Chains A and B, each alone.
Chain A
């Protein structure tokens, strides 16, 4: 397995799309934190409360989630686009081992980059808003939460990429499931509709970064629900990867 991890690490670090999507992710996080932070500071009557400042710092996750999903998609779909998947499967014919290698390497890269980007965005937002009091525990929790949430978004993309195999198709599916449908579910009627909306992909997952008071899910249970969605996509992709001709 260590051989496969080494190989996947070489693959992910040796293409420009990795560097670009990770850079875009970090820039979105930092840029939006700075922008929103400055806007909040300017429009606030008094000092910006610490709790709000932390949330401002992570506003960028809404958009960074898509760039991470794109990277997740590309990790596998670029191999289907080029035909390189056949070379990979000739080298590692046990297909689930290949997918596991991709998941492990991607998760490690995403966790490091996204946690650092979240921490830096929080620092930017806090530096701009200068809240009077600050719970450092909450800041650390937010940085870790941002890293976990964005990594989960990337894994969602990787699962969808494995399932769909086609880059544009997988990215459109990711946007639909992570951005469009979560909004639309709020229009569902009744108690049942509210529950679907609360548990729907990023509506649940965002509880760990930008919690909504009207969602009964807590930060960790929300992330758990989101990870279940990610797992569903990944498992469907894995089943098809095993079954389909390459």
Chain B
């Protein structure tokens, strides 16, 4: 069953169209990246999924129903929108307890999720003093409380240190591997390339691409082989199809094996022979350049 289905979803704030006629589906068992430049309408879309903002037109269903109609929504959907959106005066435990109680979840569940996110030691501390990384973990603990099938994260790695980024990435992969739906927004292609299986790319509130990550990579730019050698000019002559740069040769039409065989036969020593992955960032920039709100 489709976890999230948006149909012709639009949101207008005054004169601005934040989300325009957006239709997409998010499937379980994979991480779906929701990608777009800042101001593309990602957060607005997520708020509409969660029933916080009302669509101007169109609809979005969660597990086949509008979010408002879920009886214990946290048992179905867990979301982290803004990690700092907590009352700083409450302890981590009480913050989570109030959320758990509202959905009829046992208090023991609070201790479980605190353990999962590694905040058990600080459970009695006021959350106002938490670092961004700790707040992010607390937000994820809240999202996990109801053991939900669907998880929604809005820019979860923003402002995190490498440790935290790795932790969240692993967590999202694990959740998807358990068969859950993971829908995560980001404005960084590189981040999504490492986490997501599927991509929904939007710009200026409109759908730009809805594709698997592999397809996206294949469709966008090509990879190439970088060759370096003390006798670079001879290599260039040998492979013929290369593109000569001052300190290296770029070859798109031949594999590393082919180039290596040629140069070995000719007895030319190589310093480097590397296949360079296509730049996702470049492909993404290309795709969204028309929809950037501000350009420098």
A residues sitting closer than 8 Å to B (CB atoms) are 3-4, 6-8, 10-11, 14-17, 78-79, 82-84, 86-94, 245-246
Contact = CB atoms under 8 A, between A and B. Distances in A.
B108 to A, nearest CB: 15
Given A10-B94, A91-B73, A245-B52, A15 B87 contact: yes
Given A83-B84, A91-B74, A16 B68 contact: no
Interface of B: 47, 50-54, 67-68, 70, 73-74, 77, 79, 81-82, 84-91, 94-95, 97-104, 142
11 contacts: A6-B102, A11-B98, A14-B90, A16-B89, A83-B86, A88-B102, A89-B51, A90-B79, A91-B99, A93-B50, A93-B68
Nearest to A13: B94
Contacts of A8: 98
B227 to A, nearest CB: 53
Residue of A10, A84, A245 contacting most chain B CB atoms (<10 Å): A10
Contacts of B74: 90-91
B86 A84 contact: yes
A14 B102 contact: no
Contacts of B103: 3, 91
A246 B53 contact: yes
Nearest to B83: A83
A87 B73 CA distance: 11
A194 B135 CA distance: 55
A4 B51 contact: no
Secondary structure call for the A interface: helix
A190 B88 CA distance: 52
Residue of B70, B85, B87 contacting most chain A CB atoms (<10 Å): B87
Given A78-B87, A93-B73, A245-B53, A7 B82 contact: no
A10 B52 contact: no
Contacts of B102: 3-4, 6-7, 88, 91-92
B101 A89 contact: no
Contacts of B87: 11, 15, 78-79, 82, 84
Contacts of A88: 102
B74 to A, nearest CB: 6
B70 A93 contact: yes
A78 B98 CA distance: 15
B128 to A, nearest CB: 9
Nearest to A101: B102
A84 B90 CA distance: 11
A72 to B, nearest CB: 16
A182 B265 CA distance: 100
Contacts of B70: 93
Contacts of B86: 82-84, 87
B98 A10 contact: yes
B98 A83 contact: no
A86 B43 CA distance: 13
Contacts of B100: 7
A78 to B, nearest CB: 6
Given A82-B86, A93-B67, 8 more contacts: A10-B94, A16-B89, A82-B87, A86-B85, A90-B73, A91-B99, A91-B103, A93-B68
B141 to A, nearest CB: 12
